[in-house]
Amino acid sequence: MKKTIVLVTGGSRGIGRSICLSLAEHGCTILFTYLSNESKAQELRDEINQMGRGEAYGYRCDMSQLPEVLDLAKRIKRDVGYLDAIVNNAGIVGDGKPFLFATDEHWWHVIRTNVGSVTNTCRVLLPMMISRKAGRIINITSLSGQKGNAGQSAYSASKAAVVTFSRSLAKEVGRFGITVNCISPGLIDTDMTRDISNEYVANRLVWSPLKRKGGADEVANFVTYMICDAPGYIIGQELTIDGGLGVS
């Protein structure tokens, strides 16, 4: 059987790593990008290849830089020829400073990185899907983009922008058999969120019916379902996985 070929940006750590492992366990061929940590990328390649179910290709690429994404497309065509799905996961949170204390340069760096990583990937790689009249795109957003978080104005704004971009894109490419949706995690237990103060986490979890952080594997399983098993009639949606935090 033909394997599903999936590109996961920012795939070497955190939620992205869990997504790669879940999709590989499902038998997909995994292409993932990373920014700089070659050792983490090699660990992930080895782990997936040792599963014996799917292959893994790792590419160093700054997804916010269009020339690097154009080069990535050439390497993908050389190695596998086409894509069935894209998971746009690459992004940064920022320094956590209140808006009036954040430098203009840093604030816009977060916006350009998070929005640019998604738009560059779609601009360069969508033609590959359009030519085959099929494809699924999942953009990882955030509960912060729905609710807003103090100290994360740029991050929240960037994730909200990705949602409306995704809905617009879904309307443009649906006629080519391509679906575009977003998955919006809440407070997920990753190396990034482990640096958050215990007080902040406790205050957030007061509002959660489950009283715990989510697992990266829970997000990954959701993404795998959307890529491999979900009905093609789901399009232009932001699907939230947050342990009930967003209902408060």
Half-sphere exposure of 97 (CA within 13 A, CB side): 11
Catalytic residue of the set 155, 200, 225, 233: 155
**Helical ranges in 63-215 per DSSP H:** 66-79, 104-130, 143-147, 153-173, 198-205
Distance CA 114, CA 112 (A): 6
The structure tokens 């340069």 sit at: 105
Based on the residue annotation, tell me whether 155 is a catalytic residue of this protein. yes
Cβ(33)–Cβ(60) below 8 Å: yes
Amino acid at site 164:
T
The closest alpha carbon to 193, from 17, 37, 14, belongs to: 14
Residue numbers annotated as active site: 155
